[in-house]
């Protein structure tokens, strides 16, 4: 029974999240339904990360087991045909070893968050970025972000319903780039770690936005981290601007 790795792109605004749910649309459910059009099921696929409702992906990775030996390009083309009209696309497909696992073989995950600071509402980018109506200080946000790098107890920055056994995580990157736009600001938060806690990235961005707006100082971020108390976190931002941008493996199956 061959195993296939799939690189997946999707607009999360249409879904209740990655994980299959009985009465709500999910990305996992859409792909499994497409697989069932190719081979009798049921099919169960596993992903590198279970994104929440409204969270997008440009580099999600999943794997599936099939009985037929598909040529990877033909499999991706067939899946994309049967995924229509869902906003989901298989952008790469390859055969992997039977013991390769999209989640447990991963050594790093990368997220990007898009934040747009402008007075006017979003039109074309509505649902694709978080808009705030006031200007932000990018340098101050980066100074606050720098205090989060390294290995810490991130209790402050995880959801109260997080199911992880430990709040200890190592944050390898949190850099903020200022994207040139005509008449307003756009910031991209690049976040990289082996694994993340529930709502960790959105907690980071919501807190750092307060720094950019001048309501917090950069040192307040370090104090919130040291508090190890969820109540010390800033507001958790909406999911609109969050993208799972990539998953790394010691031996890249898509190389």
The one catalytic residue in 40, 52, 172, 182 is 52
Annotated active-site residue 52? The verdict is: yes
- Say which residue the tokens 């509402």 belong to: 121
CB burial class (10 A; 0-12, 13-18, 19+) of residue 162? Answer: middle
Show the tokens assigned to 49.
């990360």
Distance of CA 210 to the CA centre of its chain: 22
Distance of CA 167 to the CA centre of its chain: 19
Nearest-angstrom CA–CA distance, 197 and 95: 30
117 φ, ψ (degrees, to nearest 5): -110, 105
| End-to-end Cα, the chain, rounded Å | 23
- The DSSP line for 149-214 is -EEEE-GGGS-TT---S--EEEEEEEEEEEE--SSSEEEEEEEEES---TTHHHHHHHHHHHHHTT
- Are residues 99 and 2 in contact, defined by beta-carbon separation less than 8 angstroms? no
Distance of CA 49 to the CA centre of its chain: 7
Show the tokens assigned to 137.
């200080």
Nearest-angstrom CA–CA distance, 4 and 2: 7
Q: Which pairing describes strands 56-65 and 242-249: parallel, antiparallel, or unpaired?
A: parallel
Active site residues: 52
């Amino acid at each position: 029974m061959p195993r296939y790795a799939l690189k997946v792109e999707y607009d999360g605004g249409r879904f209740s999240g990655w994980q299959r749910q009985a009465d709500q649309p999910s990305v996992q459910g859409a792909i499994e339904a497409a697989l069932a059009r190719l081979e009798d099921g049921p099919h169960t696929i596993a992903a590198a990360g279970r994104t929440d409702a409204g969270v997008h992906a440009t580099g999600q990775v999943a794997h599936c087991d099939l009985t037929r030996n598909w040529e990877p390009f033909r499999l991706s083309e067939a899946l994309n045909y049967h995924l229509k009209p869902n906003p989901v696309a298989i952008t790469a497909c390859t055969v992997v070893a039977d013991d390769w696992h999209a989640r447990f073989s991963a050594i790093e995950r990368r997220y990007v968050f898009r934040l747009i600071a402008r007075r006017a509402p979003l039109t074309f980018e509505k649902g694709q970025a978080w808009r705030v109506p006031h200007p932000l200080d990018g340098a101050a946000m980066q100074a606050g972000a720098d205090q989060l790098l390294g290995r810490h107890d991130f209790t402050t920055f995880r959801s109260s319903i997080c199911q992880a056994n430990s709040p200890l995580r190592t944050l390898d990157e949190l850099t903020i780039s200022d994207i040139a736009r005509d008449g307003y600001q756009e910031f991209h938060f690049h976040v990289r770690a082996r694994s993340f806690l529930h709502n960790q990235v959105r907690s980071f961005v919501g807190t750092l936005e307060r720094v950019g707006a001048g309501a917090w100082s950069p040192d307040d971020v370090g104090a919130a981290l040291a508090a190890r108390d969820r109540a010390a976190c800033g507001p958790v931002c909406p999911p609109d601007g969050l993208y799972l941008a990539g998953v790394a493996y010691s031996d890249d199956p898509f190389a």
